[in-house]
Amino acid sequence: MNEREFDNLVSMTRLTPKSREAARLVYVDGKSPSEAGVTVGLSPQRISQILATVKKAESERPLSAAPNTPVTPVDAVRASYAFAVKAARDLFGDEATIRAPGPDERLVGRVEARTDFHLVQHLGRSAVAIHELASLDRVPPLARSVTIQYRAGAAQVLDRDQVQTRESNVR
């Protein structure tokens, strides 16, 4: 936590200047609670109470005041996509080809990762597709091999054994 974030956080409390300084030493400077107590001349019990007050203020602050949190739903979806790309790169390397599904495309592969709004499907070799969960008719479990068939932007998820059975019945 930096100095500005700390000041915004403790402005919601009724801590004395001495208590704020002790909390600042712990939260901003990274000192231990006992070091902070010795530095400002407060007992370990009082330091514990001060830190509990700051933790309570931290948990009660509005989400928009929390650092690094998406502010709008669009930001949340973008962050989810970024996490999905990171998961794909972590699993398959930086050279992995990341594809966005087309409007009338059929993708077959194993579900490898999931974020709040996205699904990572391994297509083979070093190719992955990142699907928006909102476009899927259902969300397949991780480690399941599935076929995802897009038609006009909507996607139907089929388990691989269902697809193989249907295709063998057609022949």
pLDDT per residue as tens digits for the range 15-27: 999 999 999 999 8
Q: Tell me, what's the pLDDT at 65?
A: 46
The CATH code of the domain that includes 10 is 1.10.10.2690
Domain co-membership, 30 together with 112: no
- pLDDT band at 84; cut points 50, 70, 90: very high
Q: Are 20 and 10 in contact (CB under 8 A)?
A: yes
Q: Work out the number of other CB atoms within 10 angstroms of the CB of residue 29.
A: 12
User: For residue range 117-144, what is the model confidence (pLDDT) as tens digits?
Assistant: 999 999 998 899 999 999 999 999 999 9
Listed as own residue / partner, the contacts of 160-166 with beta carbons closer than 8 Å and 24 or more positions apart are 160/108, 163/108
pTM of the model: 0.56
Q: Tell me, what's the pLDDT at 12?
A: 81
Domain co-membership, 78 together with 148: yes
Domain co-membership, 37 together with 112: no
Domain co-membership, 45 together with 85: no
Domain co-membership, 122 together with 150: yes
Give the 3-state DSSP-derived string for 50-88, with helices as H, strands as E and coil as C.
HHHHHHHHHHHCCHHHCCCCCCCHHHHHHHHHHHHHHHH
Domain co-membership, 39 together with 96: no
The range of the structural domain enclosing residue 146 comes to 73-170
Percent of the chain with pLDDT over 90: 63
The CATH code of the domain that includes 114 is 2.40.50.140
- pLDDT band at 47; cut points 50, 70, 90: very high
Domain total in the chain: 2
Question: Mean pLDDT over residues 79-104, rounded?
Answer: 92
Q: Tell me, what's the pLDDT at 64?
A: 46
Q: Bridge-partner residues for 156, per DSSP?
A: 149
Domain co-membership, 86 together with 38: no
Domain co-membership, 56 together with 133: no
Question: Mean pLDDT over residues 70-95, rounded?
Answer: 88
